[in-house]
Amino acid sequence: MVQDEVRFDGRAMLVTGAGRGLGRSYAMLLASRGAKVVVADNGSAMDGADGSTDPADAVVAEIRAAGGEAIACVEDIASEAGATRAVEACLDAFGRIDGLLHNASTLPNLVSADQLSSEDLERVMKINPFASIWLTRAAWPHMVARQYGRIVFTSSSGIYGNLGNALYASAKSACFGLMRCFAVEGAKHGIIVNAVAPSVRSRMTERFPKSPFTDWFLETMTPERAAVAGAWLMSEQCDHHGQMFVSGGGRIARITLAETEGYMGEGASIEEVRDAMPGILADSSYYFPRDFSERAAKMDELYGIGAGIDANSDFAMAPIQKD
C-alpha cells in the first residue's frame, strides 16, 4: 500500500452507469481501494432500450475476482422507483450508503431547434437531473444520520453550448444547479457534494465525426485517466464542496460561475443600458460567489445597503400561502 494512500475501506458506494466506460472505471478504482460498490447499470442502449444484466454482472465479477466486494443493480434509475431501489440495494447489501456517484446518462441525436424531440427531452432529463434528485433524496437521510456522505454528479462541457445539443446541455446544466444547492445544505451534515464534467472515450464520444481530433481524443481520453478525479471527490480526505471539475486525459480543471461587478446606473432608460454594454461585457472585475448568500453579500456591498441575507441557515423564501 502506498503511504498516505487514499482509501475507502468500510465505505459503501453506489455508482450509476457502472457497467461500461467511465462508470466501470469508477467502480473498479473505488473497489480496488477498499470500497464496497453497487454497480448500478441496467445495460440499456443509448435510447434506453434493450436492457441487459450482462454489463453490471461482468463488472461485479471483475471486482470480486480482484478480491473486492460488489453487487449488481439493474434497476432503471430513470424512474423514481428504480432510483430509490438502487439506493435501497446499497443499504440492503452493505447496511449503509456513504457515497453516490451518478455517472449514468444518455445523449440524444443532435438536431436543430425546430426538430427537438419531447421524447428525447424526457429521456435525457430523467436520467440526469431527475435521477440526481431521486437518488439524492433516497440517500440523504442515511447520510445525515451518519453525518457523512460524498455525492458527485456528472455534468458536461456541453453546457458551454454547441450546435444541436440543447437537450443534453440543458440536462447537464440542471445537474450543476442541483449540485450547488445540495452542497449548501449538505455542508452542515458532513455531506460533500460536487460535480465532474468528464472528457472521455465513451459510447457518446465514439459518435464524434471521423477526424484527426477524434482519433486523438479516443486514444488519449481513456476512462481510467478521468476516473481518478471523480474518485478523489468521493474520498473522505476531500473537503471541497460546491465545485465542478473538468477531468480527462490527465487534465483536471475547475469550472465556476462568475459575475462582473457590472454597471451601476439609474435604470431609467433602454438607451442607458445600450450605452453601458461595453463596460458590462468587459472581462474585468469578476467575483466568484459560491452560493446565494455570497452573491447577496456582494449585492449588499455594491448597492450600499448595509443589510445582507443569509440563505445558508434557513430557506430564503417563505412557503406559498394557501387561500
Q: What is the DSSP string of 64-94?
A: HHTT-EEEEE---TTSHHHHHHHHHHHHHHH
Residue 316: which pLDDT band, with cuts at 50, 70 and 90? low
State how far the alpha carbon of 257 is from the alpha carbons of 186, 286, 290, 295, in Å: 20, 10, 8, 11
Model confidence over 76-108: pLDDT tens digits? 999 999 999 999 999 999 999 999 999 999 888
Domain locations along the chain: 12-255
The C-alpha angle with vertex 269 and arms to 266 and 274, in degrees rounded to 5, equals 100
Q: What is the pLDDT of residues 222-257, one digit of tens each?
A: 889 999 999 999 999 999 999 999 999 988 999 999
Q: Are strands 251-255 and 259-260 parallel, antiparallel or unpaired?
A: unpaired
Give the pTM: 0.90
* Architecture in CATH of 12-255: 3-Layer(aba) Sandwich (3.40)
Strand-pairing partners, residue 284, are none
Q: What is the sign, positive or negative, of the torsion defined by CA atoms of 296, 299, 301, 304? A: negative
Question: Strand 244-248 vs strand 286-287: parallel, antiparallel, or unpaired?
Answer: unpaired
Q: Give the residue from 259, 254, 51, 239 showing the smallest Cα distance to 150.
A: 239
Backbone angles phi, psi at 81, to 5 degrees: -65, -40
Q: Which residue has the cell 430564503?
A: 316
Identify the CA nearest to 150 among candidates 297, 287, 302, 14: 14
Residue 67 has pLDDT above 80, yes or no: yes
- The Cα–Cα gap between 217 and 221 comes to 5
Q: Is the per-residue pLDDT at 204 higher than 80?
A: no
Q: Rounded to 5 degrees, what angle do the CA atoms 212, 214, 216 make?
A: 70
Beta strand segments in 85-162, E: 99-102, 149-154
**In this structure, are residues 105 and 51 in contact, taking their beta carbons and an 8 Å threshold?**
no
Judged against a pLDDT cut of 90, whether residue 149 lies above it is answered with yes
Residues 217, 205 contacting (CB under 8 angstroms): yes
Name 206's Cβ contacts closer than 8 Å, sequence gap at least 6.
218
The catalytic residue positions are 168
Q: Is residue 311 predicted with pLDDT exceeding 70?
A: no
The reported pLDDT for the residue numbered 168 is 93
- pLDDT at res. 312: 66
Question: Cα–Cα distance between 106 and 85 in angstroms, integer?
Answer: 20
